[in-house]
Amino acid sequence: MLAVDTTELIGYVASALVVLALTMHSIVRLRILSLCGSITFFVYAVLIESIPIMITNACIAAINLWYLRGEFLVRMSDRADLGASQIRPDSPFLRDFIEYHSDDIHRFQPSFSMPPGDDVMSLLLTRDGLPAGLLVGRRTDDTLRIDLDYVMREHRDSRLGRWLYGAGARVFRDAGLTRLRADASTEEHDRYLQRVGFTRTDDAGDFELRL
């Protein structure tokens, strides 16, 4: 049986953290694991007295902390790098976006299909000016019944949903809406709606948010 000393074990743990970070879809989780890996590698470098490894991982840790700071500010503020803009329901881009992300969309809202009719409202959600998600609903007077509320995996930790239904809710008010309604199709969707501010109206999974 091979004996592994403490220093070598720390090196293995650091390597494992770095490799695990590369498997993350979420940018925040990737940064956190990469930060943990660089700190562990720094400890390893101190133990083996390797200055180049110390410098490299100190720099990597600083870079990860800088980007995580940016993510924290997004969660705590109404920053201009988050956005929501109306997009035509028959837009080719919208159709392609839904088709490309179809499998991921149906993990959370398995019954979703693009609703027909002239009462459909669709919003393209953005982060740093790039597509980050999509909201689709059907409008009746001042109420929007949400059929799809989707955020791409790499942006779910930026709390785009909380922004949309909080500081970003002006996009709904500017359209003359005063109430949003949604049905929870899965337990995870149920928890999400409660986290972003919706209130359950019955035991069948119907939720409402007053704007």
- 165-204 pLDDT per residue, tens: 988 899 999 999 999 999 887 888 888 888 889 998 876 6
Task: Dump strand ranges (E) for 87-189.
Answer: 120-127, 130-140, 143-151, 179-183
Q: Residue 11 above 50 pLDDT?
A: yes
Predicted local confidence at residue 1, as pLDDT: 42
Query: pLDDT tens, 38-90?
Result: 999 999 999 999 999 999 999 999 999 988 887 666 555 555 578 899 999 99
Look up the CATH superfamily of 82-210: Gcn5-related N-acetyltransferase (GNAT) (3.40.630.30)
The domain ranges of the chain are 6-76, 82-210
Q: Which pairs with CB-CB distance under 8 Å and at least 24 residues apart come from 189-197?
A: 189/108, 189/109, 192/108, 192/149, 192/161, 195/161, 195/162, 196/161, 196/162, 196/164, 196/165, 196/166, 197/162, 197/165, 197/166
**Which pTM does this prediction carry?**
0.68
Angle 33-73-97 from CA coordinates, rounded to 5° = 75
Predicted local confidence at residue 6, as pLDDT: 87
Angle 124-33-53 from CA coordinates, rounded to 5° = 130
Count CB neighbours of 168 within 10 A.
18
